[in-house]
């Protein structure tokens, strides 16, 4: 089982994730990092198939960094969430199901 948890307070956010990558009852990896720093104020936590989540999170991470370099300022957390949601939705809609 893989776990992510986030707790929001008035002036803080606490996030935690386990480090295990597993498939059914087989433990694939003990030190899988599921937290990806997108900017100084934004952290992305991913859970799912190990290769897919890492590739998706790194894609989002690099594009948010590219946005900052091109425009000179970071995306807001809301804008980053919308960007991530749109990219995930576009990917899921474009998949060919066999």
pLDDT digits (tens, 9 = 90+) for 8-64: 889 888 888 877 777 666 666 666 777 889 988 898 888 877 778 889 999 999 999
What backbone phi and psi angles, to 5 degrees, belong to 79? -65, -40
DSSP bridge partners of 14: 7
Let me know: does 42 contact 64? Beta carbons within 8 Å: yes
* Report field, pTM of the whole predicted structure over 0.85: no
Fold of 4-94: 3.60.20
The residue whose two tokens read 């008035």 is 10
Q: In the prediction, which pLDDT does 47 show?
A: 83
């Amino acid at each position: 089982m893989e776990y992510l948890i986030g707790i929001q307070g008035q002036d803080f956010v606490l996030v935690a994730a386990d480090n295990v990558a597993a498939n059914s009852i087989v433990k694939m990896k003990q030190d899988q990092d599921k937290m990806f720093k997108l900017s100084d104020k934004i952290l992305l936590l991913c859970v799912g198939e190990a290769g897919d989540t890492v590739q998706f999170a790194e894609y989002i991470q690099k594009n948010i960094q590219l946005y900052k370099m091109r425009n000179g300022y970071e995306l807001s957390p809301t804008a980053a969430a919308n960007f991530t949601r749109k990219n995930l939705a576009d990917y899921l809609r474009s998949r060919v199901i066999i």
